[in-house]
Structure 1
Amino acid sequence: MMAEDDATLARRLAAEAGALLLDRWSRRSTLAVTTKRAGDFVSDADRAAEDHIRAGLSAARPDDGWLGEETGAAAGTARRWIVDPLDGTTNFLRGIGHWCVSIALEEAGSLVLGVVHDPVRGETFAARRAEGATLNGERIGVSRTGDLSAALFGTGIPFGGMPHIDDHAADIARLMPRCAGVRRMGAAALDLAYVAAGRLDGFWERRLQPWDIAAGLVLLREAGATVEGWMPGEAPEDTGTVVAATPEVFPAFAGTLRGADVPPPGR
């Protein structure tokens, strides 16, 4: 039997993990849940999905490295898989159908493959470097919104004791009067996929982890978005902070967020 290529492997494992998660979602009241910090949870479902993905990747690509949200890092070759088995755990546990599986591949320090799978809606967003982005196999691209006043944005609002809550509140205060709206849906990987598919016109958030954004960054770039960190020319992979939008909207969007009096965030 012919071995699966990386993209097929990632899509298959994301779908399998998604099916596992849907089963757990149907009986979520029985799951054991642990609090990592205020507002940040992990459940048996997260761990089971990550274990499944890791076992599948280890069997198919035994020499590759690994970075998973729940099990941490393992060294390997110049290739590394970056996995969030359940992005949007709070939504999942509360019965809100906005959560996903995220799998990315990094080669020699560069992100080359991303898959974001939404089991609830049966949607799989996928992209390979230089090959474009797709939704369930059909090509997608960023929206054609050309004016900030008509643009709809996504973000992630800090919670608990995060030190940058006030900074983010100030971002929203600057942006809201100038755009069509801001959505906080609770799953960064899926929000980035929505920008790639033209459902949102942009997204920003501070201090995310690699597994939150790796697959989404591949989708964004292949779908034609402009993607930076907080500062011009900065890569989100280096800081965890993402500012992304359609090329037409990005200058006004980023300029509004990056007011001259706003210091760059630390990770």
Structure 2
Amino acid sequence: MSADDLDLAVTLAQEAGEILLRHWHDRARLTVTHKRAGDFVSEVDLAAERHLRNGLLGARPGDGWLGEETGGEGQSDRRWIVDPLDGTTNFLRGIPQWAVSVALQDHDRLTVGVVHDPLRGETFAARIGGPATLDGARVSPATTATLEPALFGTGIPFGTLAHIDDHAADIARLMPLCAGVRRMGAAALDLAWVAAGRYDGFWERRLQAWDIAAGLVILRAAGARVEGWHSSESPEDTGTVITATPGVFDAFAACLRQG
């Protein structure tokens, strides 16, 4: 990992955020394509991803690439994993919950993560080993110690995804035990918010690498616990993530894993 990989990712994520902001108040004019039921891509997604790809690979020409909209490219031990607009549906509907997500994977290990929230002007960032920061100030998970006051985030499957019933059962088990569950529609921000103590935990099944890669770096650097659906699994391998502040992780995971 180059010393300035994190700085590069922060700069380009913020620049991509500026591209998105320029279209935020004129989004009704955007060309939008349906990828599948409930899943959209717009011309601004593509413009932001193009900027990120050109900037990252221009600065690191030997690196590989995985973008949500443009797919994989290149063979390298290092690979940038990018979601140029996490929360496209929110963006298109005028819901102010969306972000730019940029991560670096080096020899199968995630080493850099940046989640930039253009509307709030917030940038969550970390490199392997920490610290995790929000606009340069160190962040850490909440100190919540029991489920009763805990607030959790999740992502509810949409369209024809097969695990909708499983997720409904998760919520039915968890809701009587905690203070609430939120479904905000941008997993990258959900993970960053756990790292910063805004949520006490988050879970979701079968996400894509670009949904979670940056957030996983930030969570681990902040000191949150992160596992797959089973304790022996990692979210990088399965796309399923359970994460929480250390004080509630065991009880939270135990509740979910009853299903």
Residue segments in structure 1 that go unaligned for 5+ positions in a row: 263-267
Q: How many residues are treated as equivalent by the alignment?
A: 258
Q: With structure 2 as the length reference, what TM-score do the two structures score? A: 0.98
Q: In the alignment, what sits opposite 2:151?
A: 152
Aligned equivalent of 2:127: 128
Alignment of 1:96-245 (within 5 A): 96-245=95-244
Q: Which runs of 4+ in 1 moved over 2 A?
A: none
SS in 2 for 1:249: helix
Q: CA deviation at 1:169?
A: 0.2
Distance 2:222 2:244 in 1: 11
State the match for 2:4 in structure 1: 5
Residues 61-112 of structure 1 deviation map (CA, whole Å, 9 limit, x = unaligned): 0000000000000123210000000000000000011000000000000000
Superposed CA offset, 1:162-192 (max 9, x none)? 1000000000000000001000000000000
Identity %: 69
- Residue 56 of structure 2 corresponds to 57
User: Take 2:14 and 2:75, find their aligned partners in 1: how far apart are those partners?
Assistant: 25
Please list, as runs of the form range in 1=range in 2, the aligned pairs for 1:40-55 lying within 5 A after superposition: 40-55=39-54
Structure 2 match to 1:90 = 89
TM-score normalised according to structure 1 size: 0.95
CA distance in 2, matches of 1:232, 1:198: 22
Give, in angstroms, the shift of residue 235 of structure 1. 0.4
Matched with 2:246 is 247
Partner residue, 1:265: none
Residue pair 2:149, 2:178 contacting (<8 A) in 1 also:
yes
Q: Secondary structure at the match of 1:76?
A: coil
Inter-partner Cα distance in structure 2 for 1:51 and 1:67? 12
Secondary structure at 1:203's aligned position in 2? strand
Q: What is the Cα-based RMSD across aligned positions, in Å? A: 1.0
User: For 1:52 and 1:5, how far apart are their aligned partners in 2?
Assistant: 19
Partner residue in 2 for 1:70: 69
Shift of 1:4: 7.9
Return the offset for 1:136: 0.1
- Structure 2: how far apart are the matches of 1:77 and 1:34? 31
